[in-house]
Amino acid sequence: MTQPPGGRGGGGPATVALVAAGGAAGACARYGIWLVWPSVWGTFVVNVAGCALIGVLMVLAGERGHGPDWVRPLLGTGVLGGFTTFSAYSLDVVRLLERGALGTALGYAAGTLAGALGGVWLAVRLTRMIRPPSSRSAVRP
């Protein structure tokens, strides 16, 4: 539901490079937070911060048109996408609510949460069946 980089239907190689660079930076930031705070609360902070930041970006770069065209692909899709995809999911729910699509928003929110949790649970069970956990079975992001 989120728009492609730049919100104009995509971009060329330069846009792809911006998204990749931003994604690497966001992923490194998330991993750095996990190294400092290796718990669900570190993940919680990442997800909530990512949602807050994508909200700021949506208003400043999207609604208000501040900044050049490369800001959204670099910071939105790239950095925040690498930092957390939860921010894009939350933004989609808010956009649906703002359009008055309450049922769709609630269904999407609940369905995504259930699907994500169910997908992780199923993948963990199946993977453990195929390859039992070793003594080094710490959960990492």
Binding residue ranges: 81, 84
Per-10-residue mean pLDDT of the chain, 141 residues long, equals 49 94 96 88 85 84 79 92 84 92 95 87 86 56 47
Of the candidates 89, 93, 88, 90, the one whose C-alpha atom is nearest the C-alpha of residue 75 is: 88
Q: What is the pLDDT of residue 32?
A: 95
Binding residue ranges for Na(+): 81, 84
Q: What is the pLDDT of residue 134?
A: 60
Beta strands in 42-130 (DSSP E): none
Q: What is the pLDDT of residue 132?
A: 67
Q: Where are the chain's structural domains?
A: 38-130
d(CA 76, CA 5): 8
141 three-class SS: coil
